[in-house]
């Protein structure tokens, strides 16, 4: 199902798209597929992505290196962002003004729709405001999997002034930590070691241990990023990322506890896939039956029982 709308929390009106914008949106899958293949080749050969453009100029790694900044991480409660709740709509409009609506994304949507959906999930999971704001900007510099950036890495200071230093640091790490590496960690471990989560900088190939609290912030963003695009991505993977993050978040999302209580983690990945496929098949049949009932009701609105069934199923 295509997701053309945006969450109720945001009110988006995009500038008119040019013929070129429409063409780019139509070519989304081939373009992103080519970029993904190139990045996979670079990754398999151990070549850092700094040799690829970040979407707005060539940074060649010096601005995407973790360096000493990586060690200056919050050890306890993170500082509040400068951006309050009422300013989030303005931030999203700012991203649209920078062209977020022109970039294609999953389900044939503009990138801006996805940018609105991820923070809606983070907010629903009752995460801190600064993490919700980071979710709005989660792909600001481009990521390992999404090659189009709204800011260059050398623009970190500008983004920090816009959303606050801690939110910007989370965004920066989200855009530089290898998502492929995080997928592997989520599938092979259920907890973050006290010493930190092993991560790789996809831009420079730096390796480090990300402290548990900050690793959890990156993981929960990635979980929401994937879950917002369902069924484009694997929900089992999104839930695995959430399980890894939850114990180290200030407030673990209720979904993590629900999954645990339901015995989600007692199933193998193949068992989960089979259950999910069966459930989706049932939903598809239900939707087809509902459409057929609605068609009958439109032709024969005097059939009270059909109308009641449509209302019940709808």
In the structure, what pLDDT confidence band is assigned to residue 301 with cuts at 50, 70 and 90? confident
Q: What is residue 142's predicted lDDT score, i.e. its pLDDT?
A: 79
How confident is the model at residue 249, as a pLDDT? 93
| Section 219-227 average pLDDT | 92
What's the mean pLDDT when you consider all of the chain? 75
Name 295's Cβ contacts closer than 8 Å, sequence gap at least 6.
none
| Cβ atoms of 313 and 289 closer than 8 Å | yes
In DSSP notation, the chain reads -------TT----PPPPPHHHHHHHHTHHHHHHHHHHHHHHHHHTT--GGGS--SSS--TTTTT--GGGGG---SSSPPPPS--GGGHHHHHHHHHHTTGGGSB-GGG-BHHHHHHHHHHHHHHTT--HHHHHHHHTTTTT--SS----SS-GGGHHHHHHHH-HHHHHHHHHHHHB-HHHHHHHHHH-SS--TT-EEEEBTTT--EEEE-HHHHHHHHHHHHHHHHHTTTSS-HHHHHHHHHHHGGGSSS--HHHHHHHHTTGGGS-HHHHHHHHHHHHHHHHHHHHHHHHHHHHHHH-TT-HHHHHHHHHH-
Is pLDDT of 57 > 50? no
In the predicted model, what is the mean pLDDT of residues 50-61?
Answer: 40
Q: Helix crossing, 88-97 with 111-124: angle to 10°?
A: 160
Name the nearest CA neighbour of 150 among 224, 199, 92, 82.
Answer: 92
Name the band, by pLDDT with cuts 50, 70 and 90, for residue 103. Answer: low
Q: pLDDT value at position 75?
A: 38
Mean pLDDT value of segment 21-35: 62
Of 6-15, 145-154, 183-192, 295-304, where does the model show the most confidence? 183-192
| Cα(302)–Cα(253) distance, integer angstroms | 47
- pLDDT reported for residue 79: 41
Per domain, the residue ranges of the chain are 19-266, 270-313
The model's pLDDT over 237-295, given as tens digits with 9 standing for 90+, comes to: 889 999 999 999 988 988 898 888 888 888 888 888 888 888 888 888 888 888 888 88
Q: What are the C-alpha distances in Å from 226 to residues 106, 115, 144, 247, 291?
A: 10, 12, 14, 20, 29
298 pLDDT exceeds 80?
A: yes
Phi, psi of 116 (to 5 degrees): -80, -30
pLDDT of residue 94: 65
Q: What is the pTM of this model?
A: 0.71
> Following DSSP, what letter does each residue of 246-289 receive, concatenated?
GGGSSS--HHHHHHHHTTGGGS-HHHHHHHHHHHHHHHHHHHHH
Asked if the bond preceding 9 is cis, omega within 30° of 0, the reply is no
- Tens-place pLDDT, residues 132-152: 989 988 888 878 877 777 788
What's the pLDDT score for residue 78? Answer: 39
Evaluate if residue 92 carries a pLDDT over 60.
Answer: yes
Report the pLDDT value the prediction gives residue 8, as an integer from 0 to 100: 44
Residue 220 near residue 131 (C-beta atoms within 8 A): yes
pLDDT of residue 26: 62
In 3D space, the residue among 162, 85, 97 whose CA is nearest the CA of residue 127 turns out to be 85
Question: Given this model, what pLDDT does residue 116 score?
Answer: 77
Q: What is the mean pLDDT of residues 216-220?
A: 96
């Amino acid at each position: 199902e295509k997701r053309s709308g945006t969450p109720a929390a945001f009110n988006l009106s995009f500038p008119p798209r040019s013929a070129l914008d429409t063409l780019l949106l139509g070519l989304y899958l081939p373009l992103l597929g080519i970029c993904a293949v190139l990045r996979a080749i670079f990754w398999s050969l151990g070549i850092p992505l700094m040799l690829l453009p970040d979407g707005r100029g060539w940074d060649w790694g010096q601005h995407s290196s973790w360096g000493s900044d990586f060690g200056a991480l919050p050890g306890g409660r993170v500082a509040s962002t400068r951006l309050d709740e009422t300013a989030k709509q303005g931030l999203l409009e700012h991203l649209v003004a920078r062209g977020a609506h022109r970039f294609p994304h999953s389900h044939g949507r503009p990138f801006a729709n996805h940018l609105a959906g991820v923070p809606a999930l983070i907010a629903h999971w009752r995460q801190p405001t600064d993490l919700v704001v980071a979710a709005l900007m989660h792909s600001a510099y481009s990521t390992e999997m999404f090659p189009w950036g709204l800011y260059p890495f050398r623009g970190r200071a500008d983004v920090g002034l816009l959303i606050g230093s801690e939110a910007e640091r989370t965004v920066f790490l989200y855009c530089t930590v290898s998502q492929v590496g995080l997928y592997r960690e989520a599938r092979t471990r259920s907890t973050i070691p006290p010493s930190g989560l092993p991560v790789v900088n996809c831009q420079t190939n730096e390796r480090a241990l990300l402290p548990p609290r900050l690793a959890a912030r990156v993981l929960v963003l990635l979980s929401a990023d994937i879950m917002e695009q369902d069924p484009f991505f694997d929900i089992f993977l999104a839930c695995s990322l959430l399980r890894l993050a939850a114990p180290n978040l200030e407030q673990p999302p209720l979904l993590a506890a629900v999954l645990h209580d339901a015995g989600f983690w007692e199933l193998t990945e193949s068992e989960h896939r089979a259950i999910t496929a069966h459930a989706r098949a049932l939903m598809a049949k239900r939707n087809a039956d509902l459409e057929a009932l609605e068609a009958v009701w439109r032709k024969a609105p005097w059939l009270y029982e059909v109308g009641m069934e449509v209302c019940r199923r709808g």
